[in-house]
Amino acid sequence: MKKALLLTLVIALFVGVMPSLAQDDVFRVAAVAPSATNDLAFSQSMHDALMAIQMQMGEDAFQFDFQDGTFIVDDAAVALREWAASGDYDLVIAHGSQFGSVVEELAAEFPEVSFAWGTDFNTFGMDNVSAYTAAADQGGFVNGVMAGLMTESGVIGVVGPIEVGDAKLYVDGFVAGVGASNPEATVNVVYIQSFSDVPQATEAAETHIANGADILTGTAQMVVGPIAIANENGARWFGTQASQAELAQGAGVAFQVYKWDVVLSEIVANIQAGDLGGQSYELTLANGGLVMEFDA
Amino acid sequence: MGLDDIFTASVFASAIRLATPYIFAALGETFAQRSGVLNLGVDGIMLMGAFGGFYAVHLAQTAGVMAEPLGLLMGVLVALIVGGLMGLAMAFVSVTLKAKQGISGIGVYLFGLGLSELLFQQWVGTPKSVAGFPRISFPILTDIPILGEIFFHHNLLVYVAFALVPLSAFVLNRTTFGLMIRAVGQNPEAADAMGVSVARVRYATTTIGGMLAGLAGASLSIALINLFQQNLTAGQGFIAVALVYFGGWRPLAVAAGAMLFSFVNALQLQIKVIGADIPSEFAVMAPYVITIIALVFATKRQEQPTALTKPYERGE
């Protein structure tokens, strides 16, 4: 009888301890992103960053689940809640500024789970929330300076999504950059009010070309259309978020590439040290989180 | 900023380009609805057509197995076949199984949305461009000031779309097949009594609708944008369904609706590009608001096909 009790106790202890041992050995991350992991833009930049960290730490020390295409906040919320409730993850990432209210709600409900979200600075005053953003205006300014110097027609077209977050920062930085290098140049900016409407972005780019633009830029996953238009019409393309050199082919000039692994490494290290969050992080050209890549 | 800066030739040319996928998809949906089948899956079929057409051209061009015009025609053929098959599936569900057309249409849409995305991820990966249908330059015509830019410098599929408008009107109004379609949509019992197979006609129109929706998708992926990305159509198929109501189930009026919607869209883009100080949210809303207003007045004048959305059961 005593032996049976002892055996039961040992098995119970073993079963109880095993999951936490697994969690100690492997740092597990789960992330949602609004578009595809190969969007050549926002979601791809995060997926690339998680892959980079996995390369650094090794697959046996760092693993991640990535749910892409969750543009609808309610869909993302379901995944985020399941991950938080499971207790299997050391960090849950909501990659998209539209997910803020969901993160705020879940972080309060699961105070022992670490959340990160962006692009934003707001941690909601919670100790288990990290916020991250990109100083996209910096690379935007660099791109703008080059565009201002390169334009021959003196007209530059910008296709933006919605005037929020890093998209607005990039466009504002780009316009300022053109102004700094070529005050005579005209920069026409169109926000199409969508991150994903490729046909509309394509026609906006066509309209820019029809109005004399010889250089185009834009941000968000719908820029694949404007890139194709730049290519077709012999215009040059300046990109951001990820390198679009392959799609842009000869049209590409420079790309501001987000290296989210710079801030994610810091967040991971802090969590491993027992600090679940409470800080904001920013990618900049100075800290290597923003990198300019050229395809001239 | 004057009216000359706003109403440029490029705005009218842009409207014609923008209208192309709507015309294909809405004409196809007109056939289906005139026979009594409401297919809300148009957008999903467009996505599958867009992917199928793109992938065929992508394969032909990367493998170098086909000369350029043949590869593009293969893309069109694949889009037609894929669209036709999805239309056939919709017909099976709504005509043979007599399922609720609204729900089955949404199912077809979600299927197309998901499958096109999955196949793109598995077979292509990142967005890649293809050499799509080039713009045609007509001798003399293209060089005519203003009119040349508006009418005579588009790709082949744009002209095919506009050519289909009178052709569709002719088929619906002047042929025996058109008469059968209208009879089946208006009074299937009477049509049946006259020996017309309601099921066969509805199968035919829904399949034709699917083929044209597939072609609408291909007009984006291998003629106007020349690449594929997840959810490339961005809901254009749903606009096409609305345009059928707008046009009162008449091809010429449906095409006019597509042109109106696209013209306002092109105009708001031009106004924003030249720097008019209006909030972009209002400008983006403009085509939808104007179309809804026009829809309210248009549908008051038109009676929809009596048997629309109603499955036919002999003897009921």
- Res A8: pLDDT: 53
A123 & A40 share domain: yes
pLDDT digits (tens, 9 = 90+) for B214-237: 999 999 999 999 999 989 999 999
Positions of E strands within chain A: 27-32, 62-67, 91-95, 115-118, 129-134, 155-160, 186-191, 215-218, 236-241, 252-258, 280-283, 290-294
Contact residues, chain A, for B225 at CB < 8 Å: 198-199, 202, 225, 228
B231 found inside a domain = yes
Count the domains in chain A. Answer: 2
Beta bridge mates, A239: A255
Q: If you average pLDDT over each of A5-19, A22-36, B49-63, which comes out highest?
A: B49-63
CB contact under 8 A, B127 and A200: no
B145 found inside a domain = no
A172 & A89 share domain: no
Single out the residue of A291, A216, A286, A215 nearest to residue A256, CA to CA.
Answer: A291
A237 found inside a domain = yes
A83 & A35 share domain: yes
A249 found inside a domain = yes
User: Domain holding B247: CATH number?
Assistant: 1.10.3470
Please check the confidence at residue B242 and state whether its pLDDT lies above 70: yes
A74 & A144 share domain: no
- Res A296: pLDDT: 59
How many other CB atoms are there within 10 angstroms of residue B97's CB atom? 10
CB contact under 8 A, A246 and B280: no
Please check the confidence at residue A26 and state whether its pLDDT lies above 80: yes
CB contact under 8 A, B127 and A38: yes
Please check the confidence at residue B1 and state whether its pLDDT lies above 80: no
Pairs across A and B, CB distance < 8 A: 104
Alpha carbon of B215: minimum distance to chain A alpha carbons (Å): 15
How buried is A111 (Cβ within 10 angstroms: 0-12 exposed, 13-18 middle, 19+ buried)? exposed
- Is the ipTM reported for this complex over the cut 0.85? yes
Here the tokens at position A82 are 């399941």
- Res B85: pLDDT: 98
Which DSSP symbol is given to B135? Answer: B
- Res A1: pLDDT: 47
**Which residue segment(s) compose the domain that A200 sits in?**
136-258
Residue A191 φ then ψ, to 5°:
-100, 120
A296 found inside a domain = no
Q: Which of B51, B225, B274 to mutate to test the interface with A (most CBs of A within 10 A)?
A: B225
Please check the confidence at residue A15 and state whether its pLDDT lies above 60: no
Residue listed under structure tokens 């670490």: A114
A254 & A144 share domain: yes
A294 found inside a domain = no
Here the tokens at position B103 are 């729900």
- Res A187: pLDDT: 97
B57: left (phi over 0), alpha (psi -120 to 50) or beta: alpha
- Res B2: pLDDT: 74
Q: Are A103 and A80 in contact (CB under 8 A)?
A: yes
- Res A21: pLDDT: 39
A124 & A157 share domain: no
Residue range A204-210: average pLDDT? 96
Contact residues, chain A, for B17 at CB < 8 Å: 203, 206
Contact residues, chain A, for B128 at CB < 8 Å: 246-247
A293 found inside a domain = no
Alpha carbon of B66: minimum distance to chain A alpha carbons (Å): 22
Beta bridge mates, A156: A187, A215
Rounded alpha-carbon distances, angstroms, from residue A224 to A198, A216, B294: 7, 12, 33
A82 found inside a domain = yes
B138 found inside a domain = no
A87 found inside a domain = yes
- Res A2: pLDDT: 54
A290 found inside a domain = no
Q: Are B54 and B201 in contact (CB under 8 A)?
A: no
B133 found inside a domain = no
User: Domain holding A70: CATH number?
Assistant: 3.40.50.2300
Please check the confidence at residue A167 and state whether its pLDDT lies above 90: yes
Contact residues, chain A, for B126 at CB < 8 Å: 38, 40, 246-247
A98 & A16 share domain: yes
CB contact under 8 A, B14 and A163: no
Please check the confidence at residue A5 and state whether its pLDDT lies above 60: no
pLDDT digits (tens, 9 = 90+) for B97-116: 999 999 999 999 999 999 99
B309 found inside a domain = no
Closest-CA residue in chain A for B118? Answer: A36
A10 & A126 share domain: yes
Strand order in the sheet with A91-95: A62-67, A27-32, A91-95, A115-118, A129-134, A280-283
**Which residue segment(s) compose the domain that B44 sits in?**
3-126+156-301
CB contact under 8 A, B270 and A157: no
pLDDT digits (tens, 9 = 90+) for B185-214: 999 999 999 999 999 999 999 999 999 999
Count the domains in chain B. Answer: 1
B76 found inside a domain = yes
A15 & A158 share domain: no
B276 found inside a domain = yes
Contacts of B64 (CB under 8 A, 6+ apart): none
Contact residues, chain B, for A237 at CB < 8 Å: none
Here the tokens at position B74 are 């293969």
- Res A14: pLDDT: 46
A163 & A103 share domain: no
A103 & A245 share domain: no
pLDDT digits (tens, 9 = 90+) for A218-247: 999 899 999 999 999 999 999 999 999 999
CB contact under 8 A, B127 and A40: yes
CB contact under 8 A, A200 and B231: no
B176-180, B252-256, B290-294: range with lowest mean pLDDT: B290-294
